[in-house]
């Protein structure tokens, strides 16, 4: 067939393991079955072929914000991350006025319906002022279930996740509401105790928003939320693996206790990802990016990241020394399952969308395919 593509000779990462000298057949925008060994194809010897990356927590990139940008801005941000291997993006909002967030949810739900994004994540306004990070404290509010429902309804079925400080008044009832509506309740920007976190998990919370960051540290007498989130098999922990948000020992601790099946690598990226240093706005707050690290101009708090998932992959496989299969789980399969998309993306299995990334032997990105079309065509030689 005219649209058939054969990728040959690479190390292909499948759910069953790594296949040396593997062959990936693409047909009609999907992963197809096998082809005879002598079928002509693109020779990717010395390279890796892995599933396209799935980012479930991303605020923007390419100079564009998902919270405040125009439709063209949002599409630019999505495309920026796509060129870095993220074939599935959930658009995250920072805290804003409720009416503003409702309007933005309506706008982004249209892009989700078109397939440009995979859904919407509300990171705020239902978070703790004690752990607000780069969120405007004047716009924070308790997670009243009626307000939470208002945002979910505004997203018209495209809300994928809401981050909550579940210890606040209404937090547990809001977790139950989200679970009933098939929306991920994520514990984050929280000042909760160990016991309060266990209560939220029992109520239906399933994700830890950027574990370690914007929550109390792990203590031997007051273990806080980190211990509860790591020990419970129902929780998937987000990790920002950019070398700034986490010490390598903290990442190792998370993988040791949660295992690769309960870790999701995210970017938590803001506008500067894939764009460069300078001054930016994160919601209503001004951010300065210097040496690729984003911090609030007032207060010096880390303000998201400038990370792209290809860099997170390389760091995990080289600096952190994780097995490639574990990195693929954390960066593709696990977030796809959480988002309810694993029937279509997250692995290189027949019938799924042909979303894939080509990496060289040093884990540098060399090619990106989305739905069977090259976004970044491999330049080999």
* DSSP letter string, 281-345: EETTEEEEEETTEEEETTT--B-SB---HHHHHHHHHTTS---HHHHHIIIIIHHHHHTT-TTTS
Structure tokens at 366: 């060399």
User: Would you put residue 214 in left (φ > 0), alpha (ψ -120 to 50) or beta?
Assistant: left
Successive 10-residue mean pLDDT values, the chain, 381 residues: 84 95 94 73 95 98 94 97 98 96 97 97 96 93 98 98 98 98 98 98 98 96 97 98 95 95 97 91 87 88 92 97 98 98 98 98 98 93 64
Q: Comparing C-alpha atoms, which of 61, 67, 30, 2 is closest to residue 282?
A: 67
CATH architecture of 53-338: Alpha-Beta Barrel (3.20)
Active site residue 153: no
Query: Using CA atoms, how far apart are residues 204 and 59, in angstroms rounded to an integer?
Result: 25
Residue 269: DSSP 8-state: B
* 5-50+346-376 placed in CATH 2.60.320.10: no
What phi and psi values does residue 298 have, to the nearest 5 degrees? -105, 115
Residue 373's φ and ψ, nearest 5 degrees, are: -115, 135
Helix residue spans in 90-144 (DSSP H): 98-113
> Considering 55, 191, 268, 320, which one is annotated as catalytic?
268
Using the structure block, give the residue that is written with the tokens 């060994």. 37
- Residues of each domain in the chain carrying CATH 3.20.20.140: 53-338
**What is the Cα–Cα distance from 297 to 96, expressed in whole angstroms?**
18
Alpha helices, DSSP H, located in 183-294: 194-203, 224-231, 248-258
Q: What does the alpha-carbon distance between residue 201 and residue 179 come to, in Å, rounded to a whole number?
A: 11
Structure tokens at 192: 């909760």
> 44 with 358: CB under 8 angstroms?
yes
Q: What is the pLDDT of residue 95?
A: 95
β 207-208/184-187 pair status: parallel
Q: What is the CA radius of gyration of the chain?
A: 20
Q: Where in the chain is the domain with CATH 2.30.40.10?
A: 5-50+346-376
Tokens describing residue 223? 């273990």
pTM of structure: 0.96
Are the CB atoms for 241 and 265 separated by under 8 Å? yes
């Amino acid at each position: 067939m005219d649209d058939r593509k054969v990728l040959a000779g690479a190390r292909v990462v499948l759910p069953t393991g790594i296949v040396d000298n593997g062959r990936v057949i693409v047909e009609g925008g999907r992963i197809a079955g096998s082809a005879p060994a002598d079928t002509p194809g693109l020779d990717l010897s010395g390279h890796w072929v892995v599933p396209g990356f799935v980012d479930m927590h991303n605020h923007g990139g390419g100079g564009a914000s998902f919270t405040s940008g125009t439709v063209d801005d949002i599409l630019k941000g999505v495309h920026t991350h796509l060129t870095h291997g993220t074939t599935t993006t959930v658009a995250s909002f920072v805290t804003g006025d409720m009416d503003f967030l409702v309007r933005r949810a309506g706008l982004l739900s249209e892009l989700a319906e078109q397939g440009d994004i995979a859904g919407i994540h509300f990171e705020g306004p239902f978070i703790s002022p004690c752990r607000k990070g780069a969120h405007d404290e004047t716009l924070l509010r308790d997670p009243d279930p009626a307000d939470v429902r208002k945002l979910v309804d505004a997203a018209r079925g495209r809300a994928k996740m809401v981050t909550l400080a579940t210890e606040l008044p209404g937090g547990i009832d809001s977790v139950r509401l989200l679970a009933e509506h098939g929306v991920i309740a994520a514990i984050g920007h929280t000042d909760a105790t160990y016991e309060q976190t266990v209560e939220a998990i029992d109520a239906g919370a399933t994700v830890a928003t950027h574990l370690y960051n914007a929550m109390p540290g792990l203590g031997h007498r007051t273990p806080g939320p980190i211990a509860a989130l790591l020990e419970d098999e129902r929780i998937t922990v987000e990790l920002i693996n950019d070398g700034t948000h986490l010490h390598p020992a903290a990442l190792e601790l998370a993988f040791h206790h949660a295992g690769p099946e309960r870790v999701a690598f995210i970017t938590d990226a803001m506008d500067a990802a894939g764009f460069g240093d300078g001054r930016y706005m994160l919601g209503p707050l001004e951010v300065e990016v210097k040496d690729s690290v984003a911090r609030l101009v007032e207060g010096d708090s880390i303000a998201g990241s400038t990370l792209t998932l290809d860099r997170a992959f390389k760091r995990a496989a080289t600096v952190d020394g994780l097995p490639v299969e574990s990195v693929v789980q954390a960066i593709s399969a696990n977030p796809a399952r959480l988002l309810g998309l694993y029937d279509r993306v997250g692995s290189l299995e027949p019938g799924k969308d042909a979303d894939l990334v080509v990496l060289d032997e040093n884990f540098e990105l060399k090619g990106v395919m989305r739905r069977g079309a090259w976004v970044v065509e491999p330049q080999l030689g």
